[in-house]
Structure 1
Amino acid sequence: MKSMQVLALVGSLRKDSYNRKLFEAARELAPRGMKLEAFDLALLPLYNADLHDAAQFPEPVERLHRAIRAADAVLLLSPEYNHSVSGVLKNALDWASRGSSPPLQGKPAAAAGASTGMVGTARAQMHLREICAALEMPLVPSPEVLIANAKQKFDASGRLTDENSRKFLKELLEGLAELVQERSLVKR
């Protein structure tokens, strides 16, 4: 596989976030040649149409747009808050879907998440799939990485230790690499 840049949008600002730990696991399990970097969503202002309609987006939003454009794909990692996507991730997706050439439109993506709840991030990912469809983002369909009871799936150092979760995450990243390669062949 040629070199592939993947931008991770981690939908939790919590310092000890399971989704931040999931990002680190993704970096560890990524196929050879895939490089994952995370964008700090804490930098983004809340979405405001007045700022959107201004001559230029706020600088952190411009930085997000550049980072998405430079990436071959995005990895969306979200906890589940109130049966949905985190507000932090939704805010980033709203900003990245704006402009004359929205950087997320058509961008290959994969979604995963970890939560301390019993159903993991199943409902949040259902909403993420709807959002990605609205943005015309091709999304890796399976496997679904919906890590439930996250407290038991990561060790004290923050490493993902659950073998099934590791297997599914690795397969998801391989699927993302395949999706990027397929789309690049279609563009030729």
Structure 2
Amino acid sequence: MNLLCISGSLRSDSFNRKLIREAARLGNAASFIEADLRVPLYDGDLEAASGIPESVQTLAGQIKDADAVVISTPEYNKGISGVLKNALDWVSRTESNPWLGKPVAIMSATAGRAGGERTQFNLRLCMVAFRPRILQGPEVLVGGASNEFDNAGRLTNDLYVKTLTQLMADLAAEVSGQA
């Protein structure tokens, strides 16, 4: 499975970046790319003057070319991060809809104990218009994330490892048409 992994956090050592790397590892991805969400803020004037930025075209191409996409998002003020929403908005402006029919697994890692339940719900709502094939579970909600990864960035909680492994197996089955 060729996987595109998207972290809703820009920080290089964020919990969500660790979680997407664990998803790729536990899912035995043949290859994976970590998306770069460092794109300009969406601005209709910029789009009218210069078109779709190259960084956005790259992201849209990565989504289109991937067999599946994993998105891990922090919860900022009960919703998805601004950088993730901005990237979704920009990609929606590209020529074709790279999300259409794309298998997608959603997960979250947060400092709070709920693990990102609200942000996952919010992300699902944001993606409805794109019509991807979002897996409905199992839910991977890593709460208290500062205590859940070892120094190598691996999950330490057996329940989280088991749940993430199952989600990635389900994603692979969705890709192969055996879901």
TM-score by shorter chain over 0.5: yes
Question: Which residue of 88, 108, 130 maps to 1:93?
Answer: 88
Q: Which residue of 1 aligns with 2:124?
A: 129
Q: Is the 8 A contact 2:16 2:72 kept in 1?
A: yes
Q: Which residue of 1 aligns with 2:37?
A: 41
Q: Which residue of 2 aligns with 1:81?
A: 76
- 1:37 corresponds to which letter in structure 2? I
Asked whether 1:150 is paired with 2:145, we answer yes
Alpha-carbon shift at residue 16 of structure 1 (Å): 2.2
TM-score normalized with structure 1 length: 0.88
Asked whether 1:179 is paired with 2:174, we answer yes
Q: Is the 8 A contact 1:52 1:98 kept in 2?
A: no
- Runs (4 or more) in structure 1 with deviation over 6 Å come to none
Question: Which residue of 7, 12, 23 maps to 1:10?
Answer: 7
Alpha-carbon shift at residue 57 of structure 1 (Å): 1.0
Question: Which residue of 99, 102, 108 maps to 2:103?
Answer: 108
Q: Could you list the runs of 5+ residues in structure 1 that have no partner in the other structure?
A: none
**Whole-Å separation in 2 of the counterparts to 1:54 and 1:69:** 25
**Structure 1 vs Structure 2: percent identity of aligned residues?**
44
Q: Which residue of 2 aligns with 1:22?
A: 19
Q: Is the 8 A contact 2:3 2:24 kept in 1?
A: no
**Whole-Å separation in 2 of the counterparts to 1:164 and 1:174:** 15
Q: Is the 8 A contact 1:96 1:104 kept in 2?
A: no
SS in 2 for 1:41: coil
Q: Is the 8 A contact 1:6 1:72 kept in 2?
A: yes
Q: Is the 8 A contact 2:148 2:157 kept in 1?
A: yes
Q: Is the 8 A contact 1:78 1:113 kept in 2?
A: yes
SS in 2 for 1:102: coil
**Whole-Å separation in 2 of the counterparts to 1:133 and 1:56:** 25
- Worse-matched range after superposition: 47-56 or 120-129: 47-56
- 1:17 corresponds to which letter in structure 2? S
What is the RMSD computed on CA atoms of the aligned residues?
1.9
- 1:88 corresponds to which letter in structure 2? V
- 2:93 corresponds to which letter in structure 1? R
**Whole-Å separation in 2 of the counterparts to 1:116 and 1:159:** 16
**Whole-Å separation in 2 of the counterparts to 1:99 and 1:155:** 39
